Amino acid sequence: MDYLSDLHIDGTWRAGAGGATFPVLDPSDGSELARFAIATEADCLAAVEAADAAFDGWAATPPRVRGEVLRRAYEILTEEREIFAEIIVRENGKAFSDALGEADYAKEFFRWFSEEAVRIGGDFRLSPSGDKRIVVTRQPIGVSVLVTPWNFPAAMATRKIAPALAAGCTTVLKPARETPLTAAYIVGALERAGAPRGVVNLVTPVPTGPAVAAMIAHPAVRKLSFTGSTEVGRVLLHEAADTVVSASMELGGNAPFLVLEGADVDLAVEGALVAKMRNGGSACTAANRFYVHDSLHDEFAEKLAVALGRFTVGPGIDRANTLGALVSLEERDKVADLVTTAVAEGATVILGGERIGGGAFYPATVLVDVEHGSTINQTEIFGPVSALVRFSTVDEAVRMANDTIYGLIGYVFGREDEALRVALRVDAGMVAVNRGVLSDPAAPFGGTKQSGLGREGSSEGILEYLEEKYIGLAP
């Protein structure tokens, strides 16, 4: 397969100023897929300046025309669904079915925000004293720097680019080093869809930190939207503070999955398979801590282990495999080390638990006898490991679910009325009741506590890229 592997700056695909490249690896066997251009700091600043130069023109482009560019990009990604998914599989390692799911989810942000571009509202009213008309209009915030992770290399990029472009902002995308090929493909699709030069730029600096800091400090940059770990998010929030850049943060998670007394165990297992195994467990939304009522614990554990035991592990490119590789050997080793530590802290392995040779593979694993507060319980696992904790009262379950610095998502399985009451008590931006998947471009995605600031998708998503302006008029 031919990959786009250059920077995209001011409408031109080109090498970095230093001429250097870095390898992009297939995590299923470690082979080199491509060499991607390294952006120097000067390249990154050139991208910001190109976005700045394009800003006035794009902001003044009629919303319908902006929406049509996004709509065409959606159509291109729909026609090329298989190619799109294959690029994701090759560099990320996930199973083909997961990649197709991501490709479908990712392109929906282009369709959704093509429709939102023409619905940017405002307000017009008389002040309470009657001395003036209050006019409130919404304008694009400005040049936006978008930094994305490797686990959903397509969807995390389109979830930012689409609302930014719909709002009239111009962008610089900085994808993760592990997965730049998917990002370049999406930028290429937008170019083919008619995005004018400078509206979408792509840079891949190595090392990342100083170049991103330089972009944030550039006076033209007014927005930073980041998806990634809480650790890096904190660093970027400090950097954004120096120039008071508006920052949206989609950070880490540590999702609780509660199985309440009276829950339908088969439905809970079905939900767990998606909540845990979507993307091989490398998801910020992945169920990380299973809290299961004493009365259902053994049945749930047994049925979950049987269902997970059916996953076939191997290269994602082979469509028969339902569990692909983790993104790198380092990530695989992190997961393996967490399981070793869990066992040392008293957990029992009832499925999996051993590294598999070859690429970055790790099998579906189930641990029981896990303690609330243990290392695996308080760490984002990011792999196919289910760690089960018992509870006996709802209050205890809610207390443990909320006992974390994270608040992205929770899952509650139980009798509908009780599950809803518990969902309202879970401190998270999103709660799934009796279902294993929630993400939807039409719904607000985001977290509380250290899982983030702001929301993506839905009608809220575009507001992150708009600034309100109040104009007072004579009455």
Task: Write the CA distances from 136 to 116, 125, 222, 404, 458, integer angstroms.
Answer: 18, 9, 20, 39, 21
Q: How many CA atoms lie within 13 A of 365 on its CB side?
A: 30
What tokens were used for 152? 């959903």
Nearest distance in Å: CB 61, ligand NAD = 28
Q: Does 9 bind ligand NAD (CB under 6 A)?
A: no
* Size of the residue set binding ligand NAD (CB under 6 A): 29
User: Near ligand NAD by CB under 6 A, which window of 41-49, 231-239, 357-365, 435-443?
Assistant: 231-239
Question: Which of 88, 157, 176, 187 is the binder for ligand NAD (CB under 6 A)?
Answer: 176
Q: Which of 102, 239, 250, 380 is catalytic?
A: 250
Buried b (16+ CB within 10 A) or exposed e, 215-240: bbebeebbbbbbbbebebbeebbebb
Please indicate whether residue 115 is annotated as part of the active site. no
Cα distance between residue 446 and residue 452, in whole Å: 7
- Candidates 64, 207, 221, 73; CA nearest to 141 is 221
Query: Interacting stretch for ligand NAD, rule CB under 6 A, among 248-256, 288-296, 353-361, 434-442?
Result: 248-256
Residue with smaller CB distance to ligand NAD, 76 or 247: 247
Cβ-contact 417, 405 below 8 angstroms: no
Question: Rule CB under 6 A: is residue 359 a binding residue for ligand NAD?
Answer: no
What backbone torsions phi and psi does residue 174 show, to the nearest 5 degrees? -120, 95
36 binds ligand NAD (CB under 6 A): no
Tell me if 452 contacts ligand NAD by CB under 6 A.
yes
Which of 122, 209, 472, 475 binds ligand NAD (CB under 6 A)? It is 209
Tell me: does residue 284 bind ligand NAD (CB under 6 A). yes
149 binds ligand NAD (CB under 6 A): yes
Taking CB under 6 A as the criterion, the residue among 146, 147, 263, 350 binding ligand NAD is 147
Least separation in angstroms between CB 240 and ligand NAD: 11
CA distances to 119, 121, 134, 178 from 125, rounded to whole Å, are 19, 14, 5, 51
* Least distance between ligand NAD and beta carbon 191 (Å): 21
Q: Which of 14, 177, 421, 425 binds ligand NAD (CB under 6 A)?
A: 177
Q: Does 45 bind ligand NAD (CB under 6 A)?
A: no
Smallest gap from Cβ 60 to ligand NAD, in A, equals: 31
Cα(202)–Cα(280) distance, rounded to whole angstroms?
28
Site stretch for ligand NAD (CB under 6 A), options 8-16, 18-26, 33-41, 227-235? 227-235
Torsion of Cα atoms, 168 then 191 then 53 then 116, to 10°: 0
Measure the CA–CA gap between 18 and 23, rounded to whole angstroms: 16
Active-site residues: which are they?
Answer: 250
